[in-house]
């Protein structure tokens, strides 16, 4: 293929200027290490300074929504969450907290207002010698907003959003936020809550990840109208457009990767990029048997065909073909364009039909 020719030429030219290129790479590596030491570490230190520090998080034990909501931030700080009686500390919990503070862990975060965890519990903690911070709102959506803003004071490129009333969806959202180090906001089932909107305005994300079936589709429409990109976990076929964080290290903020990447020959980079591009095909497993037959017919027709021709190509009736096309549209695999009195069905994603 014509694509391979520049790769071979680049490889040949490497033999001609190998000495100069090796010297250049060596100097680049040394420069990158120096930059990593003097630039990356101060940036990492600044990130750590802006993050709140606690040794323990306390939530009520009679309603687990606060326990679910705070999990991403407990994971962020690597600290435990302790559910307690919201009215008064029992003897066993008191003894646990007393033992905990003996180890020098004194900073406690209480999640919820005084109706969620009473002032009496807070006073008992203060008497033991704990330094107490309380974050909570009048409703759970407000509590979620305040936690997100508190732990991400400089904002976040992505935010996870779930229903405040659907505990299953909130639990899944919490798990996703934990894995990807993202703030979690809660909202109403049929509309964006005022507190979710306030959280989005503060965090200024580019992407909002909706989780679960507890949210109405009008919420996604509203988010798009507000200028946010959206991804619906469990609904979209593609993988989430975010990546899990790397292990904490000062060098994650360095310029080593960017500098060293400039030393790689462009044809080699393009070669691997092309291979990776063609590997990103939609797997056949996302399709039903009938959908596979329709997709196969589309591929055989060059990826575009009149909808009225599909019954003959697939052996299915017109209503059946119409339903299959609608399902493929929901999965964002095909698009329909009306031309005259008929529809042209186009395949918009590359699908690997090999099982």
Q: Tell me the mean pLDDT per 10 residues along the chain, length 355.
A: 39 38 54 53 49 92 93 94 94 93 95 94 95 95 96 94 92 94 94 95 96 90 94 82 68 52 52 50 78 88 89 91 89 87 86 68
Per-residue pLDDT at 240:
83
Whether the pTM exceeds 0.75: the reply is no
Tell me if the domain spanning 53-136 has CATH number 1.20.140: no
- Residue with token string 């509203």: 222
27 alpha carbon, distance to own chain's centre? 37
Long-range contacts of 333-340 (CB under 8 A, 24+ apart): 333/237, 333/282, 333/295, 334/298, 336/307
Per-residue pLDDT at 89:
93
Residues in the chain: 355
Name the segment(s) of the chain with CATH classification 1.10.10.10.
282-352
Identify which of 54, 109, 107, 48 has the alpha carbon closest to the alpha carbon of residue 79.
Answer: 54
Report d(CA 121, CA 141) in Å as an integer.
23
137 alpha carbon, distance to own chain's centre? 25
Buried b (16+ CB within 10 A) or exposed e, 255-267: ebeebeeeeeeeb
Tokens of 97: 């907290």
Q: Is there a contact between 328 and 315 (Cβ–Cβ < 8 Å)?
A: no
Name the segment(s) of the chain with CATH classification 3.40.50.
140-245
Report d(CA 284, CA 296) in Å as an integer.
11
183: phi then psi, degrees, rounded to nearest 5: -70, 155
User: What CATH number should be reported for the domain whose range is 282-352?
Assistant: 1.10.10.10
Q: Is there a contact between 219 and 192 (Cβ–Cβ < 8 Å)?
A: yes
Q: pLDDT tens digits, residue range 230-254?
A: 999 878 767 888 887 766 555 554 5
Q: Is there a contact between 212 and 162 (Cβ–Cβ < 8 Å)?
A: yes
Q: What's the CATH number of domain 140-245, 3.40.50, 1.10.287, 2.60.40, 3.40.1170?
A: 3.40.50
Taking residue 150's Cβ as centre, other Cβ atoms within 10 Å add up to 15
Per-residue pLDDT at 114:
93
334: phi then psi, degrees, rounded to nearest 5: -135, 160
Q: Which residues pair with 59 in a beta bridge?
A: 83
Name the segment(s) of the chain with CATH classification 3.40.1010.
53-136
Q: What's the whole-number average pLDDT of the chain?
A: 81
Task: Tell me if residue 299 falls in helix, strand or coil.
Answer: helix
Report d(CA 233, CA 211) in Å as an integer.
5
């Amino acid at each position: 293929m014509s694509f391979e020719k520049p790769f071979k030429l680049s490889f040949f030219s490497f033999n001609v200027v190998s000495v100069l290129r090796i010297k250049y790479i060596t100097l680049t590596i040394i420069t990158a290490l120096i930059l990593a030491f003097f630039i990356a570490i101060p940036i990492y230190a600044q990130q750590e300074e802006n993050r709140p520090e606690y040794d323990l998080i306390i939530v009520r034990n009679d309603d687990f929504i606060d326990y679910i909501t705070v999990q991403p931030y407990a994971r962020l700080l690597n600290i435990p969450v302790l559910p307690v009686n919201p009215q008064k500390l029992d003897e066993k919990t008191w003894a646990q907290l007393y033992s905990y503070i003996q180890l020098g862990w004194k900073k406690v975060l209480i999640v919820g207002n005084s109706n969620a965890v009473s002032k009496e519990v807070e006073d008992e903690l203060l008497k033991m010698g704990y330094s107490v911070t309380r974050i909570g709102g009048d409703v759970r959506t407000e509590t979620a907003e305040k936690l997100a803003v508190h732990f991400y004071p400089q904002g976040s490129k992505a935010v996870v959003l779930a229903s405040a009333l659907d505990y299953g969806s909130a639990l899944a959202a919490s798990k996703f936020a934990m894995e990807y180090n993202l703030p979690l906001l809660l909202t109403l089932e049929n509309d964006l809550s005022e507190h979710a909107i306030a959280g989005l305005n503060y965090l200024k994300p580019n992407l909002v990840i909706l989780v679960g079936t507890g949210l109405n589709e009008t919420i996604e429409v509203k988010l798009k109208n507000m200028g946010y990109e959206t991804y619906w976990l469990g609904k979209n076929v593609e993988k989430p457009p975010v990546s899990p964080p790397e292990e904490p290290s000062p060098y994650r903020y360095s310029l080593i990767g960017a500098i060293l990447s400039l030393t790689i020959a462009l044809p080699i980079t393009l070669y691997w990029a092309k291979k990776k591009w063609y590997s990103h095909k939609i797997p056949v497993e996302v399709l039903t048997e009938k959908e596979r037959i329709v997709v196969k017919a589309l591929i055989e027709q060059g990826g575009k065909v009149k909808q009225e021709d599909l019954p003959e190509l697939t052996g299915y009736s017109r209503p059946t073909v119409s339903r299959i096309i609608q399902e493929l549209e929901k999965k964002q695999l095909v698009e329909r364009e009306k031309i005259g009195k008929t529809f042209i069905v186009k395949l918009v994603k590359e699908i690997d039909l090999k099982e």
